[in-house]
Amino acid sequence: MTDPGEPRLLSAADVRRLAAELDLRPTKQRGQNFVIDPNTVRRIVRESGVGPEDVVVEVGPGLGSLTLALLGAVRRVVAVEVDPLLAERLPATIAEHAPAQADTLEVVLADAMRVEEVPGPPPTALVANLPYNVSVPVLLHLMALLPSLERGLVMVQSEVADRLAAGPGSRTYGVPSVKAAWYADVRRAGAIGRNVFWPAPNVDSGLVAWTRREPPAAVATREDVFRVVDAAFAQRRKTLRAALRPMTSASGEGAAERLEAAFAQAGLAATVRGEQLEVEQFAALTDALVATGALAPAGAAGPSRRSRA
């Protein structure tokens, strides 16, 4: 027998009814693919490991499928929604399907890539079905913005999940892998079929779980390290030394010698490629580039600067 205090999750029929009520036509521009399977949202909440003490940020709650499942498990949900129509309707949906939890939801009408703060107690977890077209920048922005986040589970396009969780040497290892590793230990947490969405996407989906960890010890700022990471993967076939030469040549006469000295100081071979380095090695190399004068720090701000990632 269902507990009357438990949220009533949305079925496929509920999702379509709400969409019809709102005259909603999901758009690719906003990456709108709504989960219509209650078992999938239960699985996401279970795999995320959130519990009664957690304050969860959800990005792109849409019609509320995952929101309802989260409200049944956590202390509070802050849902960030960019679509005014969906943001306005969500509280009413929660009141209808989870009246006992209605006061534990706060809806923020905002673009998650541009939000600068989250209201209420510091959030402890991020759980979301991220819009696929902006999933990586949204994830990195929130990791940087909200240091109180201890862990998270996000659903993204399967190939993106592979890139986020990849390790050095993998063909999928790249900029998202290194930047995510700056903030957290990241792993693949499963696959999601296409038939649990409406409309069904043309790509497979994957779950990515992460646990916050201390960033690498570095004198250089995160922005400077991320500049080096971006340059390292801009031309994957080149050695790292060759890939960095254009950005270090601006340091003036003797730039080549300073670049060589930085590699030696960081303990890296001249033939190493960016795809072989862990995030800690990128941090050590950036420290060496700054120390030898091969890399001029970007801007004049201090360590609080954030990369645009």
Pair of tokens at residue 192: 């999601």
Give the residue numbers of the binding site for S-adenosyl-L-methionine.
33, 35, 60, 81, 111, 129
- Check if the beta carbon of residue 142 is closer than 8 Å to that of residue 130: no
* Helix 175-183 vs helix 279-291: crossing angle, to nearest 10: 90
Residues annotated in the binding site, as ranges?
Answer: 33, 35, 60, 81, 111, 129
**Residue 301 vs residues 134, 159, 190, 222, 309: alpha-carbon distances, Å:** 27, 35, 40, 12, 17
What's the rounded Cα separation, in Å, for the pair 170 and 240? 16
**How far from 129 is each of 42, 79, 185, 277, CA to CA, in Å?**
13, 11, 19, 30
Instruction: List the beta strands (DSSP E) in the chain.
Output: 34-35, 55-59, 76-81, 105-109, 125-129, 151-157, 184-192, 197-198, 205-212
| CB-CB contact of 73 with 67 (8 Å) | no
Beta-carbon contacts of 140 under 8 Å, excluding residues fewer than 6 positions away, are 176, 179, 180, 183, 307, 309
Q: Which of 161, 175, 154 is nearest to 112 (CA)?
A: 154
